[in-house]
Amino acid sequence: MTTIALIGPGAIGGTVAAWLAQDPTIAVTVCARTPFDDLQVETPQGLITAKPKIITNPADGTPVDWVLIATKTYDADATKPWLDHLVADHTRVAIIQNGVEHERLFSHLVPADRIVPVIINLPAARSAPGRIAQHRHGIISVPAGTNGEDFAALFATTEIEAAAHADFVSQAWLKLTGNAIAIVPSLTLRATGPVWNADLESVVRGVVEECAAVGRAEGATIPAEFVEEIIERSRTMAEGSSAGSLHADRLAGHPMEVDARNGVIVRLGAKHGIPTPMNKVLVTLLSASGAPWIDGTRH
Ligand SMILES: NC(=O)c1ccc[n+]([C@@H]2O[C@H](COP(=O)([O-])OP(=O)(O)OC[C@H]3O[C@@H](n4cnc5c(N)ncnc54)[C@H](OP(=O)(O)O)[C@@H]3O)[C@@H](O)[C@H]2O)c1
């Protein structure tokens, strides 16, 4: 029996836990901040349900083979009390979050050789604790190597497609390049398509091209056509369509992953001597937008 503890049973964590719990050779424990009884996930394959062990007190955790972390990036440090009880010498820790800094965020909490950074393409939303809608087929990317391959193998019997990639850096930066533009609708509070013009295009283009340039300096392959595809997606973004989690979190008055998604472009750009003026301005404006919390820091 493989033992897994999932910290952060939100949209992503709840979906992943429910799929893994379908496998009789896996024992899933859910480590929750807000208690609930069971998981019900509407997936493209229909409703899946699971009744894993759910704990809310870190002291009730015991060492497991795998810890999966699916909190927002700004809650990384809040996982420490859980990790203190769940991680033994053999435990590997998979970080399922957006961004490109999985290792940096957890380097003071988990030994580097046991961290598995995970990029997930799986749009999902939570309507209540334990109640989730998975909107499309899920795809997981991890780095090549024993840890990544062992992690991908956990999903063998699920409908989530998991693969280890020799060029994981590109996987992570392609996702970030696609996500970077979400800062624009999170500031304007509306879709970009209906208000598209040359000036808005230069803003969107600046955000995406800066991200691609920094990603390339970090070793990622980001084709010029991919950048154009992302800009085209922004040009055709329909009113009322989901403008992403930054937007949703801002509207809800929640913290936002703005540092993990755009602040990182500015920080790593500075490291490489690459100017990132568009991301810097938008990060500054969003930070000053009145949202009470940015990345966990009260401003
Ligand atoms: N949703 C998507 O479509 C999607 C797609 C791809 C990638 N991602 C990325 O996946 C990550 C997770 O996003 P999400 O949408 O799943 O977020 P979410 O729905 O807000 O879920 C986060 C979960 O973490 C829990 N949590 C926070 N601190 C905790 C702690 N100390 N102990 C236990 N649980 C804790 C929250 O608890 P509460 O229940 O109390 O809120 C919540 O259940 C993010 O990096 C996001 O960018 C999301």
Could you identify the residue written with the tokens 């799929």?
Answer: 19
Q: 105-135 pLDDT, tens per residue?
A: 999 999 999 999 999 999 999 999 999 999 9
SS3 for 13? helix
Alpha carbons 211 and 209: distance in angstroms, whole number: 5
Q: 134-161 pLDDT, tens per residue?
A: 999 999 999 999 999 999 999 999 999 9
Alpha carbons 261 and 238: distance in angstroms, whole number: 22
Alpha carbons 6 and 151: distance in angstroms, whole number: 13
- Residue among 51, 53, 175, 280 flagged as catalytic: 175
SS3 for 273? coil
**First vs last C-alpha separation in the chain:** 46
Amino acid identity, residue 192?
T
Q: 49-72 pLDDT, tens per residue?
A: 999 999 999 999 999 999 999 999
SS3 for 253? coil
Please tell me if the CB atom of residue 16 comes closer than 6 angstroms to any atom of ligand 1. no
Q: What whole-number percentage of the chain has pLDDT above 90?
A: 89
Contact 106, 115 (CB under 8 A): yes
pLDDT band of residue 245 (cuts 50, 70, 90) is confident
Please tell me if the CB atom of residue 141 comes closer than 6 angstroms to any atom of ligand 1. no
Alpha carbons 212 and 234: distance in angstroms, whole number: 16
**Strand 297-298 relative to strand 293-294: parallel, antiparallel, unpaired?**
antiparallel
Please tell me if the CB atom of residue 245 comes closer than 6 angstroms to any atom of ligand 1. yes
Task: Centre a 10 Å sphere on the Cβ of residue 139 and count the other Cβ atoms it contains.
Answer: 14
Q: Is 125 exposed, middle or buried (0-12, 13-18, 19+ CB in 10 A)?
A: middle
Tell which atom from ligand 1 comes closest to the C-alpha of 9: 43
Amino acid identity, residue 25?
T
Of residues 297, 10, 289, 278, the one with CA closest to residue 134: 10
CA of 92 to the centre of ligand 1 (A): 20
**Burial call 149-174: b when 16+ CB within 10 Å, e when fewer:** ebbbebbeebebebebbeebbbbbbb
Amino acid identity, residue 76?
A
SS3 for 118? strand
Query: What Å distances lie between residue 194 and 42, 126, 181, 200, 227, CA to CA?
Result: 31, 28, 16, 11, 20
Whether 299 shows a pLDDT value over 50: the answer reads no
Query: What Å distances lie between residue 298 and 191, 254, 270, 287, CA to CA?
Result: 27, 11, 25, 10
**Strand 53-55 relative to strand 115-121: parallel, antiparallel, unpaired?**
unpaired
Could you identify the residue written with the tokens 């391959």?
Answer: 149
Contact 39, 18 (CB under 8 A): yes
Please tell me if the CB atom of residue 280 comes closer than 6 angstroms to any atom of ligand 1. no
SS3 for 101? coil
Tell which atom from ligand 1 comes closest to the C-alpha of 78: 31
pLDDT band of residue 220 (cuts 50, 70, 90) is very high
Q: What is the pLDDT of residue 291?
A: 53
51 is catalytic: no
Q: Which residues on neighbouring strands pair with residue 50, listed in sequence order? A: 39
Q: What is the mean pLDDT of the chain?
A: 95
